[in-house]
Structure 1
Amino acid sequence: MKAVRLTLICHALTQAQKTGRLHHADDAILPLASSPFADLSGVSVLTAPERRACETAALLSGGVEVEPALADCDLGRWRGLALKQLQAEQPQALAEWLQNPASDVHGGESFSALCQRMADWLAAFDRSGEWIAITHPMNMRAVLVQVLGCPLGAGQRIDVLPLSRLDLSFTGQWRLRLG
């Protein structure tokens, strides 16, 4: 059994996040004053396929591999909508989605489906060494819920800010690494 260190990093801030709008695949990151990453030579980098994740990964040195399993949660008909618009036009649907992890009222992927997708990805992750994976807030919530064995509803109680890091290790089971 080989040791694995996996650090998930949330993509950098987007205009959508800044203005309270749900994401689109083509959302770009806002300019950064400086690179938020230290020297990461020797670390392998994976990224979700969305533009905001790829742009964040490009801030790292070296080659980057796109990992489709790290794709953001599919929000279906709600992609790109402002939260205020949803609160005004679809308050019951929004409340159901926020309270029920199995809800897919938007016609996309439910949080419980995302949790299963991320659990499957972690279970199949068999690459030893040190890895960084650029992904999204909901994916990081899903990974935390899986690694800690929390009820799916706990995912709504986790705030993931831009450029947040989630450090994991694997030696027989995934473990949260606090530092």
Structure 2
Amino acid sequence: MKAVRLTLICHGLTEAQKSGRLAHPEDAVLALAEPLEMAAAEVQVLRAPERRASETAAWLAAQASIEPALADCDLGSWQGLALKQLQLEQPEALAQWLQDPYSAPHGGESIAQLVERVDAWLAGFDGPGQWLAVTHPMVIRAVLVQLLGCPLASFQRIDVMPLSRLELSFTGQWRLRLN
């Protein structure tokens, strides 16, 4: 069994994040103050299908394969809405979604479904070598909850900042790698 090293990187900062809006698939990343270091030639790069993941991956590698399982949580009718708007117009639904990981009042994917999707992807991941995967804060939170065996309620207690990295290794089981 060959070892796997998988680094999940959160996409770059978007205007939606700066202004307190929920993500939309067409959100673009803002310019960087300094360029990112390109991935080494032996590192295989994956990315989520959304624009912000594509743009971030382009800063890191000349080529990145789309991995649908790395897609952001489907927020249904809430995509692109400001949190303040939801607090005013749908406070009970927002509170329910934040407190109950099985709820999806927006008509999209629940947190529990996201965690299940990400867990299935990790369980089937069998590519030896070094990997870099550009994805979203919610996907990285799902990986942490699943990998550490945390209750789903802990999902809302994790902050993932733009361009942050989560390093994992696999030799029979997934392990968190702290540097």
Range into which the TM-score falls when normalised by the shorter chain: over 0.9
Q: Is the 8 A contact 1:8 1:140 kept in 2?
A: yes
Q: Which residue of 1 aligns with 2:32?
A: 32
Q: Counterpart amino acid of 1:102?
A: Y
Q: Counterpart amino acid of 2:156?
A: Q
Q: Counterpart amino acid of 2:157?
A: R
Q: Which residue of 1 aligns with 2:66?
A: 66
Q: Counterpart amino acid of 2:46?
A: L
Q: Which residue of 2 aligns with 1:168?
A: 168
Cα distance between partner residues in 2 of 1:174 and 1:57: 23
Cα distance between partner residues in 2 of 1:160 and 1:106: 22
Percent of residue pairs identical: 67
Q: Is the 8 A contact 1:118 1:139 kept in 2?
A: yes
Q: Counterpart amino acid of 1:50?
A: E
CA RMSD of aligned residues (A): 0.9
Q: Which residue of 1 aligns with 2:8?
A: 8
Cα distance between partner residues in 1 of 2:40 and 2:20: 32
Cα distance between partner residues in 1 of 2:5 and 2:39: 16
Instruction: Give TM-score scaled by structure 2 length.
Output: 0.98
For structure 2, list consecutive stretches of 5 or more residues without a partner in the other structure.
Answer: none
Q: How does 1:1-179 map to 2 (within 5 A)?
A: 1-37=1-37, 39-179=39-179
Instruction: Give TM-score scaled by structure 1 length.
Output: 0.98
SS in 2 for 1:59: helix
Q: Counterpart amino acid of 2:110?
A: S
Cα distance between partner residues in 2 of 1:40 and 1:47: 16
- What's the offset of the Cα at 1:41? 2.5
- What's the offset of the Cα at 1:35? 1.5
Cα distance between partner residues in 2 of 1:100 and 1:128: 36
